[in-house]
Amino acid sequence: MKKVDLVFIPGPGAGHLVPYIEFAKHLLDRDDCFSVTVLLMDSPFGPPPSVVHTKSLAESNTSIRFINLSPPVDYCPSQEVHKSFEKFMTKYIDCHRACVKEAIVKHVLSVLTQAPLAGLVVDFSCTSMIDVGNELDVPSYLFSPSSAAAVGLLLYLDRVGREIEEFDGDLVIPSYVNPVPNSGLPDVLLNKHGGYTTFMNHGRRFKETKGIIVNTFEELESHAVKSLKNDFDHMPPIYTVGPMIDLKNESDKLVLDVTERDKILKWLDNQPDSSVVFLCFGSVGSFDKEQVKEITLGLEQRGHRFLWSLRKPPLKNKYEGPSDYKGDEILPNGFFERTKKIGFVCGWAPQKAVLAHKSVGAFVSHCGWNSILESLWFGVPIVTWPLYAEQQLNAFQMVRDLGLGVELRLDYRIMNGEVVVADEIARAIKCVMESDNEVRKKVKEKSEKSRLAVMEGGSSYAAFGGLIDDVLRNKAMKEAYSFS
């Protein structure tokens, strides 16, 4: 059968690229009639992942090709980034419209007889690329690596207007079971320099797409999924196709240190089952010296075995990821010696391999959506320590709406200079490590449901099938395949 091509347009940076590649691999595994072209934007803050590492994410799959976009000629950087990062990035992405269209015309449409263009798959921050799809007369699909509830939040913004910035209380957001406190909203929605308006405008454009693809599963977010379908007018189809997890750990190749990985897994091999607390805060999660001290005190106070991925904060006003500490440059004197029999402190950690290990019993996490899905897949309960972006909402949803997380904090914001004290940390660890903890039981049950969802007959498997059918039956594909 002749292949058809989908063009993927992720936002710049590895954090956007990795879930896109995972979705592409799942799509190609499911149906070999597709090929995928991924358009890569450079980051305005530094070099993108190397071409070799980027291609390694797709393994040896020859049906995925990458095209590096030229920097936009009409982009003029300003100091606006320090007022609203989201508004700055949206303008930067919008300036790529011409080169996105040029790349599609040159590299995709020029070989139309080999692989007809079936549509665009755009990031939630790249909604301006819907215009490119309209100009080329092909449909656009939105891909959200975040939760269905978070998609509902962005749709909700247009309904309430800008007064949310001044609101001090609980918000009744349809996609969440319980009212959401103002303190749990992402910082961007409280930004008076354009952050709120930027996200409201993105949300408005969601309804212009042919479908919204979400990395979740109905059994996890049944309320949110039902809300997306029933509580908003003129909605396109919702395709819950998750959890899409890189079980082969291909994304680790972006930061891979084989020697360190082997040391970590060997140490875990020597620990009793479900005895280790894993502390890891994402690709850009890091703490200063005062907070690190409180974590060490909390760990020593509880005395549980621990594996701690400890990262150094980036320089102030730099949008680069954290680096690893060298030795014990930030840890209190004597900490290594006192905890050498029960603890392991590392820099980068192979998160999925760690969560899959039988010795790991709990996960102190920043509550990024990918981390939540991974913790549920492997049946490891989360202690919530959100840092930025939509993580406060993820933590709220896990603890209050779903009962699948143990609360450390729900509204912590790293930029506010808050310090979580040792007693709080110790108390949360004690709670999650109790063998009869109700959250632990619920997470184990949800783990089974997450695996069933992606198997044949499961809800996500069926949603994926529905998505494929829709893509292949759009106007261009009808002509190519003579569909009725």
Q: Is the model's pLDDT at 164 over the cut of 80?
A: no
Q: Is the model's pLDDT at 95 over the cut of 50?
A: yes
Please give the model's pTM, rounded to 2 decimal places. Answer: 0.93
Q: Is the model's pLDDT at 321 over the cut of 60?
A: no
Tokens of 141: 């699909």
Give me the mean pLDDT over the 314-329 stretch.
57
The span from the first CA to the last CA of the chain, in angstroms, equals: 18
- Alpha carbons within 13 angstroms on the beta-carbon side of residue 312 total 11
Q: Is the model's pLDDT at 444 over the cut of 60?
A: yes
CA 80/CA 77 separation, integer angstroms:
8
CA 23/CA 387 separation, integer angstroms:
26
C-beta of residue 143 within 8 angstroms of C-beta of residue 213: yes
Q: Is the model's pLDDT at 362 over the cut of 90?
A: yes
pLDDT digits (tens, 9 = 90+) for 186-215: 888 877 777 888 999 999 999 999 999 999
Task: Name which residue leads in pLDDT, 19 or 454.
Answer: 454
Task: Name which residue leads in pLDDT, 374 or 80.
Answer: 374
Q: Is the model's pLDDT at 50 over the cut of 90?
A: no
Share of residues in the chain with pLDDT > 90 (%): 64
Highest mean pLDDT among 46-50, 68-72, 116-120, 181-185: 116-120
Identify the structural domains of the chain with CATH numbers, from first to last: 4-242+454-481 (3.40.50.2000), 257-446 (3.40.50.2000)
CA 58/CA 54 separation, integer angstroms:
8
What is the maximal distance between C-alpha atoms in the chain? Answer: 73
Give me the mean pLDDT over the 285-290 stretch.
89
Buried b or exposed e, range 140-156, using 16+ CB within 10 angstroms:
bbbbbbbbbbbbbbbbb
Length in residues, the chain:
484
Tokens of 67: 């095209």
**Confidence class for position 59, pLDDT limits 50, 70, 90:** low
Buried b or exposed e, range 405-414, using 16+ CB within 10 angstroms:
bbbbbbbbbb
CA 418/CA 420 separation, integer angstroms:
7
CA 42/CA 89 separation, integer angstroms:
12
pLDDT of residue 1: 59
Least confidently predicted of 1-5, 39-43, 76-80, 119-123: 76-80
CA 224/CA 105 separation, integer angstroms:
38
CA 75/CA 209 separation, integer angstroms:
26
